Amino acid sequence: MHRRQFLVANFLLGCGALSGSGCRSKQFAAVRSPGQGDMVGSHTAGAETYKPLVEEAVNSLLTRQTPPVTPAGTAPPPPRRICFVAVENKSAEEIGDFKDQIYEVIDLKIVNSHVFAPVNKRFVDAGLMQTRLRPDQLFVPENMRSFTYALEQQGQPFDFLLYATITSGTTRSNKDYQRDYLLTLEMINVKSGQYDKQAASLSKGYHHSRVSKWIDNIKS
């Protein structure tokens, strides 16, 4: 190497080094427009999974429970009181901060439908705290009575209990896997024990590489 070339190269290297500016960039964020699709969770379910599940399951339940149109001149029946107890996650994944959001979205949809008059979550939580009952213990008659009594004391009687349950099933194919998510809404009449159940499902494929995803797309 010629001496001059070497010195120029060293000078440039030195300038680059001494500048110390690096190439770190700032993190950016943007508000996603309503028409924009959700980001897709690469390892677990996210908005792309839970949003359609909640939408479909709640709509199905409300459609089936909407009371028939009353004849003219007859007062419509009062909306039935429903106590939305909990969202239970029985899937293979932790849903982290999604759980409370799923509860709120379902609750909001029920409130806005006017098909039911839901009991506010704060009363539900207070009732559970007062009785020290777990949501899964409410079906013992004595427990049900004490829980109903606790809510009635707060001026919140109810006719139905509502549970939302997330479950999953996993099918493995070497390094890839398919996970089926199911959101079930279970509504139980506390007086008669009769229940209604609606569910929504969604399957998601997790691939260890783009090529694997591409091959999967070709197969299907």
Partner 1 sequence: MRGPSYPKRLLATAWVLVLAAGCATYADRVTQIREEFSTGDLGRAEAAVDAGLKHRLGNDHDVLKLERSIIDLANAHPQEAEQLLREVRDHFDHLEQKAVGEKALSMVTDANRKAYAGEDYEKVLVRVMLTLSNLMGDGGDAGAYALQVADKQQQIIDAGTGSDGENPKKAYQRVAIGAYVHGMLREATHSNFDDVARSCAIVCSWQPSFPFARQDLERAQHGHHSEPGNGVLYVFTLVGIGPYKQQAIELPSTVSLLIADRILSAIGPQTLPPTIAPIKVPKVVCTPNDVTNIGVAVDGRPLGRTETITDVGGMAVAQYDAVYPHIIAEAVVRRIVKKGIIFGGKEAMGVQKDSLAGLGLDVLGVAWEATESADTRCWGLLPDKIQVLRLELPAGEHEVLLQSVGNAGITIGRPSTQRVTITNGRNTYMLANFPYSNLVGSILAKQQ
The footprint of partner 1 (CB under 8 A) covers 1, 3, 6-7, 10, 13-14, 16-27, 85-86, 88-90, 94, 96-97, 99, 124-125, 128-136
* Amino acid, res. 80: R
* Residue number, 102 or 115, with CB nearest to partner 1: 102
Least distance to partner 1 from the beta carbon of 95, Å? Answer: 9
Name the amino acid, one letter, at 63.
T
Output the smallest distance, CB 9 to partner 1, in A: 9
Residue 66 beta carbon to partner 1: minimum distance, rounded to whole angstroms: 28
Q: CB-wise, 143 or 201, nearer to partner 1?
A: 143
Smallest separation, CB 151 to partner 1 (Å)? 13
Beta bridge partners of 120: none
33 close to 40: Cβ distance less than 8 angstroms: no
18 versus 29: smaller Cβ distance to partner 1: 18
Cα(32)–Cα(42) distance, rounded to whole angstroms?
19
Q: Residue 162 contacts by C-beta under 8 Å, 6 or more apart in sequence?
A: 82, 83, 84, 85, 110, 118, 185, 186, 187, 188
Residue closer to partner 1 (CB basis): 24 or 219? 24
Instruction: Report d(CA 213, CA 207) in Å as an integer.
Output: 6
